[in-house]
Amino acid sequence: MRETTVGVGGAAESTDMVLNIGPQHPSTHGVLRLRLVLDGERIQHAEPVIGYMHRGAEKLFEARDYRQIIMLANRHDWLSAFSNELGVVMGVERMLGMEVPERAVWTRTLLAELNRVLNHLMFLGSYPLELGGITPVFYAFREREELQNVMEEISGGRMHYMFNRVGGLKEDLPAGWLGRARQAVADVRSRMDVFDNLVLGNEIFRGRTRGVGVLAPETVHAYGVSGPIARASGVDFDLRRDEPYLAYADLASTLKVVTREEGDCLARFECLLEQSHNSLDLADACLDRIEQLPPGPINQRLPKVLKAPEGTTYSWTENPLGINGYYLVSKGEKTPYRLKLRSASYNNIQALTELLPGTLVADMVAILGSLFFVVGDIDK
Protein backbone atom coordinates (compact mmCIF):
# COMPACT_ATOMS: atom_id res chain seq x y z
CA MET A 1 0.00 0.00 0.00
CA ARG A 2 1.43 3.39 -1.03
CA GLU A 3 0.82 6.48 1.08
CA THR A 4 0.97 10.02 -0.24
CA THR A 5 1.40 12.85 2.22
CA VAL A 6 -0.10 16.14 1.08
CA GLY A 7 1.13 19.29 2.80
CA VAL A 8 -1.59 21.53 4.18
CA GLY A 9 -1.29 25.18 5.12
CA GLY A 10 2.23 26.26 6.05
CA ALA A 11 3.58 22.74 5.57
CA ALA A 12 2.79 22.99 1.83
CA GLU A 13 5.68 25.41 1.38
CA SER A 14 8.22 22.62 1.76
CA THR A 15 6.38 20.20 -0.56
CA ASP A 16 8.01 19.53 -3.94
CA MET A 17 5.78 19.86 -6.96
CA VAL A 18 6.28 18.11 -10.30
CA LEU A 19 5.37 20.35 -13.24
CA ASN A 20 5.15 19.20 -16.86
CA ILE A 21 5.95 21.87 -19.45
CA GLY A 22 4.51 20.46 -22.67
CA PRO A 23 4.29 18.48 -24.81
CA GLN A 24 2.17 20.74 -26.94
CA HIS A 25 2.16 21.67 -30.53
CA PRO A 26 0.48 24.23 -32.43
CA SER A 27 3.20 26.53 -33.65
CA THR A 28 6.00 25.74 -31.26
CA HIS A 29 9.37 24.78 -32.77
CA GLY A 30 8.19 21.17 -32.47
CA VAL A 31 7.17 19.13 -29.44
CA LEU A 32 9.37 19.02 -26.34
CA ARG A 33 8.42 18.12 -22.76
CA LEU A 34 10.22 19.34 -19.67
CA ARG A 35 9.62 17.55 -16.39
CA LEU A 36 10.43 20.02 -13.62
CA VAL A 37 10.58 19.42 -9.87
CA LEU A 38 9.85 22.70 -8.08
CA ASP A 39 10.45 23.94 -4.57
CA GLY A 40 8.16 26.92 -4.50
CA GLU A 41 9.22 29.18 -7.39
CA ARG A 42 12.63 27.59 -7.78
CA ILE A 43 13.49 24.65 -10.02
CA GLN A 44 15.22 21.78 -8.21
CA HIS A 45 15.47 19.25 -11.02
CA ALA A 46 14.86 19.37 -14.77
CA GLU A 47 14.55 16.50 -17.22
CA PRO A 48 14.03 17.06 -20.97
CA VAL A 49 11.75 14.31 -22.29
CA ILE A 50 12.30 13.85 -26.03
CA GLY A 51 11.13 11.54 -28.79
CA TYR A 52 7.67 12.88 -29.59
CA MET A 53 8.74 13.69 -33.17
CA HIS A 54 11.05 10.73 -33.72
CA ARG A 55 10.80 9.59 -37.35
CA GLY A 56 13.54 6.98 -37.49
CA ALA A 57 15.61 8.83 -40.08
CA GLU A 58 18.77 6.83 -39.34
CA LYS A 59 16.95 3.57 -40.05
CA LEU A 60 15.34 4.99 -43.20
CA PHE A 61 18.80 5.96 -44.48
CA GLU A 62 19.60 2.25 -44.73
CA ALA A 63 16.72 1.65 -47.15
CA ARG A 64 17.46 4.56 -49.52
CA ASP A 65 20.24 5.00 -52.05
CA TYR A 66 22.77 7.81 -51.90
CA ARG A 67 20.63 10.14 -53.99
CA GLN A 68 17.48 9.55 -51.96
CA ILE A 69 18.98 9.99 -48.49
CA ILE A 70 19.61 13.68 -49.23
CA MET A 71 15.86 14.24 -49.00
CA LEU A 72 15.74 12.64 -45.54
CA ALA A 73 18.87 14.40 -44.31
CA ASN A 74 17.71 17.93 -45.03
CA ARG A 75 14.63 17.64 -42.83
CA HIS A 76 15.80 16.97 -39.27
CA ASP A 77 16.75 20.62 -38.70
CA TRP A 78 14.21 22.24 -40.98
CA LEU A 79 15.82 25.66 -40.52
CA SER A 80 19.21 24.42 -41.80
CA ALA A 81 18.20 22.21 -44.73
CA PHE A 82 21.06 23.15 -47.05
CA SER A 83 23.68 22.62 -44.34
CA ASN A 84 22.15 19.23 -43.47
CA GLU A 85 22.50 18.08 -47.08
CA LEU A 86 26.15 19.14 -47.19
CA GLY A 87 27.32 16.67 -44.57
CA VAL A 88 25.84 13.70 -46.41
CA VAL A 89 27.19 14.51 -49.87
CA MET A 90 30.62 15.43 -48.48
CA GLY A 91 30.80 12.07 -46.72
CA VAL A 92 29.90 10.12 -49.86
CA GLU A 93 32.31 12.20 -51.97
CA ARG A 94 35.11 11.44 -49.50
CA MET A 95 34.36 7.70 -49.72
CA LEU A 96 34.47 7.91 -53.52
CA GLY A 97 37.62 10.07 -53.55
CA MET A 98 35.68 12.51 -55.72
CA GLU A 99 36.90 16.01 -56.55
CA VAL A 100 34.11 18.60 -56.68
CA PRO A 101 34.31 21.39 -59.30
CA GLU A 102 35.50 24.76 -57.97
CA ARG A 103 32.30 26.46 -59.05
CA ALA A 104 30.30 24.03 -56.92
CA VAL A 105 32.58 24.52 -53.90
CA TRP A 106 32.12 28.29 -53.87
CA THR A 107 28.39 28.13 -54.58
CA ARG A 108 27.92 25.62 -51.78
CA THR A 109 29.77 27.96 -49.40
CA LEU A 110 27.59 30.89 -50.46
CA LEU A 111 24.34 28.97 -50.00
CA ALA A 112 25.49 27.55 -46.65
CA GLU A 113 26.05 31.09 -45.33
CA LEU A 114 22.72 32.35 -46.68
CA ASN A 115 21.08 29.36 -44.97
CA ARG A 116 22.93 30.29 -41.74
CA VAL A 117 21.46 33.79 -41.81
CA LEU A 118 17.98 32.38 -42.50
CA ASN A 119 18.31 30.10 -39.48
CA HIS A 120 19.58 32.84 -37.17
CA LEU A 121 16.89 35.31 -38.22
CA MET A 122 14.22 32.89 -37.05
CA PHE A 123 15.69 32.81 -33.54
CA LEU A 124 16.54 36.53 -33.51
CA GLY A 125 12.82 37.14 -34.03
CA SER A 126 11.29 34.34 -32.01
CA TYR A 127 13.43 34.69 -28.86
CA PRO A 128 12.20 38.21 -28.01
CA LEU A 129 8.69 36.94 -28.80
CA GLU A 130 9.05 34.27 -26.11
CA LEU A 131 9.96 37.04 -23.65
CA GLY A 132 6.93 39.15 -24.56
CA GLY A 133 8.32 41.35 -27.35
CA ILE A 134 6.20 40.77 -30.46
CA THR A 135 7.68 43.38 -32.84
CA PRO A 136 11.09 41.85 -33.72
CA VAL A 137 9.56 38.72 -35.28
CA PHE A 138 7.91 40.83 -37.99
CA TYR A 139 11.25 42.37 -38.93
CA ALA A 140 12.91 38.95 -38.85
CA PHE A 141 10.39 37.46 -41.27
CA ARG A 142 10.72 40.42 -43.63
CA GLU A 143 14.46 39.76 -43.91
CA ARG A 144 13.89 36.01 -44.18
CA GLU A 145 11.57 36.54 -47.14
CA GLU A 146 14.26 38.49 -49.03
CA LEU A 147 16.77 35.67 -48.62
CA GLN A 148 14.25 32.88 -49.10
CA ASN A 149 13.23 34.38 -52.45
CA VAL A 150 16.76 34.00 -53.84
CA MET A 151 17.12 30.52 -52.31
CA GLU A 152 13.78 29.49 -53.80
CA GLU A 153 14.74 30.85 -57.21
CA ILE A 154 17.93 28.82 -57.38
CA SER A 155 16.58 25.55 -55.93
CA GLY A 156 12.80 25.55 -56.28
CA GLY A 157 12.33 24.96 -52.53
CA ARG A 158 11.58 27.45 -49.78
CA MET A 159 12.79 25.35 -46.85
CA HIS A 160 13.84 21.92 -48.18
CA TYR A 161 16.13 22.87 -51.01
CA MET A 162 17.28 19.46 -52.29
CA PHE A 163 19.99 21.31 -54.22
CA ASN A 164 23.09 19.35 -53.22
CA ARG A 165 24.12 16.32 -55.21
CA VAL A 166 26.97 13.88 -54.78
CA GLY A 167 29.66 15.55 -56.90
CA GLY A 168 28.32 19.10 -56.76
CA LEU A 169 24.99 20.84 -57.13
CA LYS A 170 21.81 20.09 -59.03
CA GLU A 171 22.33 22.76 -61.71
CA ASP A 172 24.09 26.03 -62.45
CA LEU A 173 22.93 29.45 -61.29
CA PRO A 174 20.09 31.13 -63.22
CA ALA A 175 20.95 34.14 -65.40
CA GLY A 176 21.11 37.31 -63.30
CA TRP A 177 20.84 35.42 -60.02
CA LEU A 178 24.17 36.63 -58.63
CA GLY A 179 23.01 40.25 -58.91
CA ARG A 180 19.70 39.52 -57.22
CA ALA A 181 21.45 37.61 -54.44
CA ARG A 182 23.89 40.48 -53.90
CA GLN A 183 21.00 42.94 -53.68
CA ALA A 184 19.17 40.73 -51.17
CA VAL A 185 22.29 40.50 -48.97
CA ALA A 186 22.75 44.29 -49.11
CA ASP A 187 19.08 44.92 -48.25
CA VAL A 188 19.17 42.56 -45.26
CA ARG A 189 22.46 44.02 -44.00
CA SER A 190 21.09 47.57 -44.19
CA ARG A 191 18.25 46.66 -41.82
CA MET A 192 20.02 44.35 -39.35
CA ASP A 193 20.60 47.25 -36.94
CA VAL A 194 16.92 46.86 -36.04
CA PHE A 195 17.91 43.95 -33.80
CA ASP A 196 20.77 45.94 -32.22
CA ASN A 197 18.52 48.88 -31.44
CA LEU A 198 15.12 47.28 -30.90
CA VAL A 199 16.21 44.19 -28.97
CA LEU A 200 19.68 44.69 -27.49
CA GLY A 201 18.85 48.32 -26.75
CA ASN A 202 15.74 47.31 -24.79
CA GLU A 203 16.34 47.45 -21.05
CA ILE A 204 13.55 44.94 -20.34
CA PHE A 205 15.15 42.40 -22.69
CA ARG A 206 18.56 42.95 -21.09
CA GLY A 207 17.05 42.67 -17.63
CA ARG A 208 15.45 39.32 -18.49
CA THR A 209 18.61 37.84 -20.05
CA ARG A 210 21.75 39.32 -18.44
CA GLY A 211 23.21 36.94 -15.85
CA VAL A 212 20.42 34.41 -16.46
CA GLY A 213 21.15 30.78 -17.39
CA VAL A 214 24.94 30.97 -17.18
CA LEU A 215 26.50 27.97 -18.93
CA ALA A 216 30.02 27.15 -17.73
CA PRO A 217 32.70 26.11 -20.28
CA GLU A 218 33.16 22.85 -18.35
CA THR A 219 29.50 22.00 -18.91
CA VAL A 220 29.86 22.83 -22.61
CA HIS A 221 32.66 20.28 -22.93
CA ALA A 222 30.94 17.67 -20.76
CA TYR A 223 27.73 17.69 -22.79
CA GLY A 224 29.21 18.22 -26.25
CA VAL A 225 27.45 21.57 -26.67
CA SER A 226 28.54 23.39 -29.83
CA GLY A 227 27.76 26.33 -32.09
CA PRO A 228 26.83 29.84 -30.92
CA ILE A 229 25.75 28.48 -27.50
CA ALA A 230 29.23 27.07 -26.81
CA ARG A 231 31.01 30.15 -28.17
CA ALA A 232 28.89 32.40 -25.92
CA SER A 233 30.51 30.57 -22.98
CA GLY A 234 34.02 31.28 -24.24
CA VAL A 235 34.60 27.96 -26.05
CA ASP A 236 36.39 29.26 -29.14
CA PHE A 237 35.76 26.47 -31.64
CA ASP A 238 34.39 26.71 -35.17
CA LEU A 239 34.92 23.99 -37.79
CA ARG A 240 34.94 26.56 -40.59
CA ARG A 241 38.21 27.93 -39.16
CA ASP A 242 39.64 24.99 -37.21
CA GLU A 243 39.00 22.21 -39.78
CA PRO A 244 38.16 24.13 -42.96
CA TYR A 245 35.92 22.54 -45.56
CA LEU A 246 34.38 23.89 -48.79
CA ALA A 247 36.01 27.30 -49.46
CA TYR A 248 36.42 28.44 -45.86
CA ALA A 249 40.21 28.18 -45.91
CA ASP A 250 40.23 30.90 -48.60
CA LEU A 251 37.83 33.02 -46.55
CA ALA A 252 39.97 33.11 -43.41
CA SER A 253 40.43 36.89 -43.64
CA THR A 254 36.64 37.44 -43.75
CA LEU A 255 35.53 34.73 -41.32
CA LYS A 256 35.13 35.96 -37.76
CA VAL A 257 34.47 33.48 -34.96
CA VAL A 258 32.22 35.36 -32.54
CA THR A 259 32.70 34.56 -28.84
CA ARG A 260 31.62 35.90 -25.46
CA GLU A 261 32.78 35.07 -21.95
CA GLU A 262 29.57 35.61 -19.93
CA GLY A 263 27.77 32.42 -21.03
CA ASP A 264 24.34 33.85 -20.20
CA CYS A 265 21.17 34.24 -22.29
CA LEU A 266 22.23 37.72 -23.43
CA ALA A 267 25.64 36.48 -24.60
CA ARG A 268 24.00 33.70 -26.63
CA PHE A 269 21.73 36.20 -28.37
CA GLU A 270 24.65 38.56 -29.05
CA CYS A 271 26.68 35.72 -30.59
CA LEU A 272 23.80 34.80 -32.86
CA LEU A 273 23.33 38.40 -34.00
CA GLU A 274 27.00 39.13 -34.60
CA GLN A 275 27.46 35.84 -36.43
CA SER A 276 24.59 36.82 -38.75
CA HIS A 277 26.46 40.02 -39.67
CA ASN A 278 29.60 38.00 -40.43
CA SER A 279 27.70 35.46 -42.54
CA LEU A 280 26.43 38.30 -44.74
CA ASP A 281 30.06 39.42 -45.21
CA LEU A 282 31.05 35.85 -46.11
CA ALA A 283 28.19 35.69 -48.62
CA ASP A 284 29.46 38.86 -50.30
CA ALA A 285 32.98 37.43 -50.48
CA CYS A 286 31.62 34.25 -52.11
CA LEU A 287 29.62 36.29 -54.63
CA ASP A 288 32.77 38.24 -55.55
CA ARG A 289 34.71 35.02 -56.11
CA ILE A 290 31.97 33.27 -58.13
CA GLU A 291 31.78 36.26 -60.48
CA GLN A 292 35.52 35.91 -61.16
CA LEU A 293 35.39 32.17 -61.89
CA PRO A 294 35.52 31.10 -65.54
CA PRO A 295 32.54 29.14 -66.89
CA GLY A 296 32.71 25.50 -65.94
CA PRO A 297 30.78 22.49 -64.63
CA ILE A 298 28.93 22.64 -61.31
CA ASN A 299 28.76 18.88 -60.77
CA GLN A 300 30.38 15.57 -61.71
CA ARG A 301 28.73 13.05 -63.98
CA LEU A 302 27.66 10.04 -61.93
CA PRO A 303 26.99 6.44 -62.92
CA LYS A 304 23.37 5.34 -63.13
CA VAL A 305 23.82 3.24 -59.98
CA LEU A 306 26.00 4.99 -57.41
CA LYS A 307 27.83 2.71 -54.96
CA ALA A 308 30.23 3.88 -52.27
CA PRO A 309 33.25 1.59 -51.75
CA GLU A 310 33.43 -0.50 -48.60
CA GLY A 311 34.68 1.43 -45.59
CA THR A 312 33.79 4.13 -43.09
CA THR A 313 34.04 7.90 -42.91
CA TYR A 314 32.89 10.75 -40.69
CA SER A 315 31.96 14.10 -42.17
CA TRP A 316 31.08 17.04 -39.98
CA THR A 317 30.07 20.60 -40.70
CA GLU A 318 29.58 23.79 -38.70
CA ASN A 319 25.80 23.99 -39.02
CA PRO A 320 23.94 27.13 -37.88
CA LEU A 321 23.02 25.50 -34.55
CA GLY A 322 26.36 23.74 -33.99
CA ILE A 323 28.33 20.70 -35.10
CA ASN A 324 26.44 18.32 -37.37
CA GLY A 325 28.11 15.00 -38.18
CA TYR A 326 27.38 11.89 -40.25
CA TYR A 327 29.17 8.61 -39.59
CA LEU A 328 28.84 6.59 -42.79
CA VAL A 329 29.49 2.85 -42.97
CA SER A 330 29.40 1.28 -46.43
CA LYS A 331 29.48 -2.37 -47.50
CA GLY A 332 29.94 -1.44 -51.15
CA GLU A 333 26.22 -1.34 -51.91
CA LYS A 334 24.06 1.43 -53.34
CA THR A 335 22.57 2.09 -49.87
CA PRO A 336 24.46 2.94 -46.65
CA TYR A 337 24.97 0.01 -44.29
CA ARG A 338 24.74 2.54 -41.46
CA LEU A 339 24.47 6.33 -41.36
CA LYS A 340 24.63 7.71 -37.82
CA LEU A 341 23.55 11.32 -37.35
CA ARG A 342 25.13 13.55 -34.71
CA SER A 343 22.84 16.57 -34.55
CA ALA A 344 23.63 19.86 -32.81
CA SER A 345 20.30 20.29 -31.00
CA TYR A 346 20.42 16.81 -29.46
CA ASN A 347 23.57 17.64 -27.50
CA ASN A 348 22.70 21.27 -26.81
CA ILE A 349 19.35 20.51 -25.18
CA GLN A 350 20.93 18.13 -22.66
CA ALA A 351 22.59 21.09 -20.96
CA LEU A 352 19.16 22.04 -19.58
CA THR A 353 19.63 19.44 -16.83
CA GLU A 354 22.53 21.59 -15.57
CA LEU A 355 21.20 25.02 -16.48
CA LEU A 356 17.71 24.96 -15.01
CA PRO A 357 18.20 23.64 -11.42
CA GLY A 358 18.48 26.55 -9.02
CA THR A 359 16.77 29.05 -11.32
CA LEU A 360 13.32 30.57 -11.02
CA VAL A 361 10.36 29.28 -13.00
CA ALA A 362 10.01 32.79 -14.42
CA ASP A 363 13.48 32.47 -16.02
CA MET A 364 12.81 29.01 -17.47
CA VAL A 365 11.43 30.29 -20.79
CA ALA A 366 14.31 32.78 -21.15
CA ILE A 367 16.85 29.97 -20.70
CA LEU A 368 14.99 27.47 -22.88
CA GLY A 369 14.60 29.95 -25.73
CA SER A 370 18.28 30.95 -25.62
CA LEU A 371 19.45 27.40 -26.42
CA PHE A 372 18.27 27.82 -30.04
CA PHE A 373 17.21 24.28 -30.90
CA VAL A 374 14.92 22.61 -33.43
CA VAL A 375 13.00 19.66 -32.02
CA GLY A 376 13.26 17.60 -35.22
CA ASP A 377 17.03 17.94 -34.82
CA ILE A 378 16.75 16.46 -31.31
CA ASP A 379 14.43 13.57 -32.18
CA LYS A 380 15.93 12.79 -35.62
Q: What CATH number does residue 151 fall under?
A: 1.10.645.10
What is d(CA 113, CA 143) in angstroms, rounded to the nearest whole number?
A: 15
- Residue 33 burial by CB count (10 A; 0-12/13-18/19+): exposed, middle or buried? middle
Q: What pLDDT, on a 0 to 100 scale, did the predictor assign at position 3?
A: 43
Report the number of distinct structural domains present in the chain: 1
- Report the pLDDT averaged over residues 223-228: 94
Residue 186: CA atoms inside 13 Å, Cβ hemisphere, count? 7
Start-to-end CA span in the chain (Å): 41
Residue 4 belongs to some domain of the structure:
no
User: What is the Rg, in whole angstroms, of the alpha carbon atoms belonging to the chain?
Assistant: 22
- Residue 268 burial by CB count (10 A; 0-12/13-18/19+): exposed, middle or buried? buried
Residue 51 belongs to some domain of the structure:
no
Question: Cβ atoms within 10 A of the Cβ of 114, count?
Answer: 25
- pLDDT, mean over the chain: 90
Q: Which range marks the domain in which residue 163 is found?
A: 65-379
CB proximity list for 57: less than 8 A, separation 6 or greater: 72, 73, 75, 76, 341, 380
Q: Residue 376 carries which side chain, given as an amino acid letter?
A: G
Residue 54 has pLDDT above 60, yes or no: yes
Residue 124 belongs to some domain of the structure:
yes
Residue 12 belongs to some domain of the structure:
no
Residue 2 belongs to some domain of the structure:
no
Q: Which helix (H) or strand (E) holds 229?
A: helix 228-231
In the chain, the largest separation of any two C-alpha atoms, in whole Å, equals 81
Whether pTM exceeds 0.75: yes
Q: What pLDDT, on a 0 to 100 scale, did the predictor assign at position 6?
A: 44
Residue 183 belongs to some domain of the structure:
yes
68 to 72, 315, 340: CA distances (angstroms):
7, 18, 16
What is d(CA 32, CA 19) in angstroms, rounded to the nearest whole number?
A: 14
Residue 123, φ and ψ in degrees, nearest 5: -75, -30
pLDDT in tens, 346-369: 999 999 999 999 999 989 989 998
Least confident of 69-83, 238-252, 318-332: 69-83
pLDDT in tens, 253-294: 999 999 999 999 999 999 999 999 999 999 999 999 999 999
Residue 22 belongs to some domain of the structure:
no
Residue 288 belongs to some domain of the structure:
yes
pLDDT in tens, 126-185: 999 989 889 999 999 999 999 999 999 999 988 899 999 999 999 999 999 999 999 999
